[in-house]
Structure 1
Amino acid sequence: MIADTIRLIESELHDKAKLIAVTKTKPVELLREAYEAGCRRFGENKVQEMAEKQPQLPDDVQWHLIGHLQTNKVKYIAPFVALIHSVDSLKLLQEINKQAAKSNRVIDCLLQIYIADEETKFGLSAEEAEALLNAPELDALSHIRIVGLMGLATNTDDTDKVRLEFRGLKELYDKLGQIKRPMIQFSELSMGMSGDYRLAVEEGSTLVRVGSAIFGSRT
């Protein structure tokens, strides 16, 4: 069942975007099933859950932190995380850099942009993101790489609204990707989840975060 669903979603992505299986609250047995089906990218919302699951899966799994990240939790995932999608401050980038240095790693990061019509979502405004990418403090951060943007669309059945939000994020991605600095190397645009990943791919997403469509609704 999981294998069939993963193959179906992969076929719908047409090699334009990569699938991240969102595994928050899911038992390791289901992750192993997804792994056996060829899935190598797993997305978790909570640091503690990711840190507990990581040693139980093969080393070639890429772990993506897609939930809100607090600075005091970075140290638990710095040794292994592949991509942090939810960077929303210079302070957080500085802490990721500090912890990455301890593991002698460069950690890839996405800036989370606030695109939704909901107060519960986190993220930077377009202006804040541009200011952050131009901040002189970034010059001191040799253990992070900012590789793109992430956004969460409004949770609505209005596909026109969602499409406009995705399109606006892609336009911002294209604009901010012009900023030339060693630590800024845009290549990834993370947008689209179970209900809207097809729209997101049409609008330029390179990473889709799909959970319930693969594993069923969260308990």
Structure 2
Amino acid sequence: MENTKEIEQNYQHLVESLPQNVELVAVSKTHPVEMIRAVYDLGQKVFAENKVQEIVEKYPLLPKDIRWDLIGHLQRNKVKHIIDFIGTIQSVDSEKLLMEIDRQAKNCNRKVNVLLQIKIAEEESKYGLELYEAKEIFEDWLNGKFPNIEITGLMGMATFTENETQIRKEFTYLKQIFDQLSLKKKLTTLSMGMSGDYQLAIECGATSVRIGSAIFGHRAYNL
């Protein structure tokens, strides 16, 4: 398949360009399991979706050593559908959501890794915690409020713009928050940067990048 060949070339080129200390999260949303399998066969073990329905449909059809992350806005009533197998929920954008994840994780007798999503973009449509909210949640967690949760880091989405100065400012801001919280307890994951800005994100300190179209190409949503 020509399409698969192109995906393989994209993936190899991307992996070669990433520093060893930066984790690649392959964003497979809207792409079929055949394409995901092709990238998996090249050695990729971490994939991400932004919709619960899609991740639930794909999970049983692919190898069980894949770590599935959720990167899209998560509604509390859908937590139960992914809680028993999800790798990391990167998009925790409210205390109420964190409470529900903690409750469902207890029911499954497991501890679930999460990232706190910080609002760094100027766009109103972007989700995320304000700085004061993130600090309060982190302090509560350190004091034992969410025993079935492991906060491993932060996630953020920059403004959708070609203004590199703006993007750099937002990524730098997120890195500063990451460093502040790490003084209280060492965080390991700073998830920022996508296909269009991941190199800038790495310059600003990202330890994890979420890349979809640079691997899989653009998906036609009206198929």
The TM-score with structure 1 as length reference comes to: 0.94
The alignment status of 1:109 with 2:114, answered yes or no, reads yes
User: Structure 1 residues 9 and 99 mapped into 2: Cα distance closer, same or farther (>3 Å)?
Assistant: same
Matched residue SS, 1:104: coil
Contact 2:7 2:217 in 1 (8 A): no
Find the counterpart in structure 2 of residue 201 from structure 1: 202
* Counterpart-to-counterpart distance in 1, 2:215 and 2:126: 23
Q: How does 1:141-160 map to 2 (within 5 A)?
A: 141-160=146-165
Find the counterpart in structure 1 of residue 24 from structure 2: 19
Q: How does 1:80-91 map to 2 (within 5 A)?
A: 80-91=85-96
Which piece of structure 1 moves more, 191-200 or 171-180?
A: 171-180
Query: Which 5+ residue runs of structure 2 have no aligned equivalent?
Result: 1-5
* Counterpart-to-counterpart distance in 2, 1:193 and 1:76: 26
1:156 Cα deviation (Å)?
A: 0.7
Q: 2:104 aligns with which of 99, 102, 105?
A: 99
Matched residue SS, 1:74: helix
1:28 Cα deviation (Å)?
A: 0.8
Number of aligned residue pairs: 215
Contact 1:63 1:83 in 2 (8 A): yes
1:17 Cα deviation (Å)?
A: 0.8
Q: 1:28 aligns with which of 16, 30, 33?
A: 33
* Counterpart-to-counterpart distance in 2, 1:75 and 1:168: 33
Q: How does 1:164-203 map to 2 (within 5 A)?
A: 164-180=169-185, 185-203=186-204
The TM-score with structure 2 as length reference comes to: 0.92
Runs of 4+ aligned residues of structure 1 deviating over 4 Å after TM superposition are none
* Counterpart-to-counterpart distance in 1, 2:52 and 2:34: 19
* Counterpart-to-counterpart distance in 1, 2:19 and 2:142: 39
1:179 Cα deviation (Å)?
A: 2.4
RMSD across aligned positions (CA): 1.4
Contact 1:133 1:179 in 2 (8 A): no
The alignment status of 1:65 with 2:70, answered yes or no, reads yes
* Counterpart-to-counterpart distance in 1, 2:83 and 2:133: 25
1:143 Cα deviation (Å)?
A: 1.1
1:176 Cα deviation (Å)?
A: 1.4
Find the counterpart in structure 1 of residue 3 from structure 2: none
Question: 1:151-182, CA deviations, whole angstroms, 9 ceiling, x for partnerless residues?
Answer: 000111111111111111001100012224xx
Contact 1:28 1:53 in 2 (8 A): yes
The sequence identity of aligned pairs, in percent, is 49
The alignment status of 1:139 with 2:144, answered yes or no, reads yes
1:89 Cα deviation (Å)?
A: 1.4
1:138 Cα deviation (Å)?
A: 6.0
**Quick one: which amino acid aligns to residue 182 of structure 2?**
G
* Counterpart-to-counterpart distance in 1, 2:188 and 2:66: 20
**Quick one: which amino acid aligns to residue 191 of structure 1?**
M
Find the counterpart in structure 2 of residue 74 from structure 1: 79
**Quick one: which amino acid aligns to residue 187 of structure 1?**
T
* Counterpart-to-counterpart distance in 2, 1:151 and 1:137: 21
The alignment status of 1:53 with 2:54, answered yes or no, reads no
1:117 Cα deviation (Å)?
A: 1.5
Query: Which 5+ residue runs of structure 1 have no aligned equivalent?
Result: none
Which piece of structure 1 moves more, 20-29 or 2-11?
A: 2-11
Contact 2:141 2:147 in 1 (8 A): no
1:137 Cα deviation (Å)?
A: 9.5
Contact 1:12 1:198 in 2 (8 A): no
1:218 Cα deviation (Å)?
A: 2.6
